[in-house]
Structure 1
Amino acid sequence: MKYGMPGLLCMMLAGVALAAGPRAASEQMQASMLVRGSITVAADGSVKSYLVDHPEQLPREVVNLIARNVPKWRFEPVARAGQPVIAQAAMDLRVVAKPLGNDEFALSVAGTNFGRPSSHAAADSPPISYKRRPPPAYPALAANARAWGTVYLLLAIDHVGRVQHVDAEQVNLGVVGGDREMGRWRHALAQAAVSAARDWTFNVPAPASGATSPHWLVRVPVAFTFASGAEPRYGVWHRYLPGPRVMPAWAGKLDSGDSADAVGAGSISAVGEGLRRAKPFEGA
């Protein structure tokens, strides 16, 4: 859907590295916001209802986009004691505005992340939480270039809360430069986040009876920014240049359908425990 939002282009271009030039910036840079809320799914997998947090703080175009799309979604039914039940879960939506020219933008829901359903058996155990999380150092290469962004980590956590494996699944930037520059920035931010995460520890639930997996898989965002706070305030567009998604070999094949960069700041998203879409998500 096309929308005219004159002020948005100025915001996007404000974060562009000078070497890239305005044309390169307008072709690459997008704007994005993360919308948080909850969703209730009926026993047959249809959407029974949904809520977005603080809709009054969101642009009207974003509220309308969500209203047109979310009610049409279908999910795999959630079972309890072998019977399909109504289930509620947290919902994060990555909304993206892509420039079309002439101050027009195409809005879409580019990514989703759903929490553990309230009626799922796993809901009886506490979620994974941080025990010790020393922050990463800002890499000098990125800091000297005033490059900032968010690294989305994929971690394997063992049954005593230690990190077994960790890799950067995706690195999104908030500034534009040449291809080689951006590659170096992404690599530097990813290495800093991965290095710090190796020393993290977590509070983990007791293994379920009959569990065979040697670890839990979780996604965690790590924001590198020069501003106070890890994310702009809720409902505000921010510059967005998504990086390629790279799945580490140790993770195997993941079919949860969640998006790596739809996990909110400070959150821990357990892979495979959330609501599942009936069909793979392809944007909306």
Structure 2
Amino acid sequence: MLRKWSGVLVLMLWTSIALAGVTTADVRRQVEASMLVNGTIDIDAQGQVTDYQLAEQASLPPALLAVVDRHVRGWRFDPMRVDGNAVRARSPMHVRLVMKRDGDRFLFRIAGATFGTTYGAGAVPTVNGTLSPPRYPEYAYTSNVGGVVYLVVKVGRDGSVEDAIAEQVNLRSLGSEHEMARFREILTDPAISVSRKWKFNFPTRGEDADKPFVLVRVAVEYLARDMPSERAGRWLPYVPGPRQPVPWRNWDAAGQQPDAITVGEAYPDNPKGPKLIGNIDG
């Protein structure tokens, strides 16, 4: 069942991904199918998963759901603590699923996940106004280049963006390695430029309220002609870019994947939710 469904998916991707003069071999090496799913996860006081829910469960075939279930129920977390005591917790989560063709096989993996918590008013930075989109670069538009730029923005105490970096750029267009590096650069520059005009509300309480700055993650999407927008539960072509270090981080973000967030929303860079122990695809 999974093999038959995967073959249909790959045929769909071949007709929907934007090509830039690449060969068939190039496509087979690079194309992946990606889906972001949302849900919640329940964790006991020992850090073990007791239950979880996926909002987009109907978009996944049973065989794939079985693989997800096996992985998720095997996750282990640092126990959540209140006043020093380990407690049960329920956390929202975003999970990125990836399917890739490897010869006559189809490989599935959980590429990343973001876990949050329920924040009270004023505890984390929030958007002040709207996140205005960037100008679509003319070269990218005429070349039918699209993708998503995953920004980390440095927000000062007055709510203005002091700096920004593209932690990762995932493309929806294919080319040579040199071409795709250029595509990422072309999409990154206007995304960083527009981010400097964004405004945020700085935390007024909690551990971040006295800090000189806070970090926020935002995904900026570029849609070339006939490209559907990314939304939870939708499979899309996906060429993940290399991950870049964020110079202002003072914590280990190795377990946090840049692209496991929803386009157009703002997320605290250092969420106070559950911390996964070990490999997410283990």
Give the one of 203, 206, 221 matched to 1:205.
203
Q: CA deviation at 1:169?
A: 0.4
**Could you give the per-residue CA deviations for residues 42-85 of structure 1, whole angstroms, max 9, x where no partner exists?**
11111121111031233333322221111111111111122111
TM-score by length of 1: 0.89
1:52 matched to 2:49? The reply is: no
Q: 1:160 and 2:162 equivalent?
A: no
**CA spacing shift, 1:278–1:56, aligned 2, 3 Å:** closer
SS at 2:47 equivalent: coil
Alignment check: 8 A CA contact 1:57 1:235 kept? yes
The alignment partner of 1:75 has SS state of: strand
The answer to whether the Cα contact below 8 Å between 2:71 and 2:281 also exists between their aligned partners in 1 is: no
Partner of 1:20: 22
1:84-110 superposed Cα distances (whole Å, 9 cap, x missing partner):
1111111011100011223x3111101
Change (3 A) 1:229 1:182: closer
| Contact 1:29-1:240 at 8 Å conserved across structures | yes
Closer, same or farther: CA 90–229 of 1 in aligned 2, 3 Å? farther
Letter paired with 2:146: W
Structure 1 SS opposite 2:78: coil
1:42 corresponds in structure 2 to 44
The 3-state SS of whatever aligns with 2:76 is coil
Contact 2:123–2:206 (CA under 8 A) maintained in structure 1 = no
Match of 1:217 in 2: 215
Aligned counterpart for 2:66 among listed residues 55, 64, 67: 64
Distance in structure 2 (CA, Å) of the matches to 1:274 and 1:141: 40
Q: Check conservation: 2:208, 2:214, Cα contact below 8 A.
A: no
Cα contact 1:257–1:276 (8 A) shared by 2: no
Q: Distance in 1 between matches of 2:19 and 2:87?
A: 51
Alpha-carbon offset, residue 234 of structure 1: 3.5
Q: Which residue type is aligned with residue 202 of structure 1?
A: F
| Cα distance in 1 between the residues matched to 2:124 and 2:279 | 25
Counterpart of 2:111? 110
In structure 2, distance between residues paired with 1:54 and 1:260? 21
Residue 253 of structure 1, CA deviation = 4.6
- Cα–Cα, structure 1 residues 141 and 236, in superposed 2: closer, same or farther, change >3 Å? same
What's the offset of the Cα at 1:248? 3.0
Relative to the length of structure 2, the TM-score reads: 0.90
Identity of aligned residues (%): 31
Distance 1:220 1:180 in 2: 26
Q: Which runs of 5+ in 2 are unaligned?
A: none
Q: Compare 224-233 and 82-91 and name the one that shifted more.
A: 224-233
Letter in 2 for 1:57: S
Unaligned runs of at least 5 residues, structure 1: none
Give the superposition deviation at 1:271: 2.0
Distance change >3 Å, CA 46–CA 244, structure 1 → 2: same
- Deviates further, 189-198 or 176-185: 176-185
Contact 2:123/2:204, CA 8 A, preserved across alignment: no
Alpha-carbon distance in structure 1 between the residues aligned to 2:46 and 2:33: 35
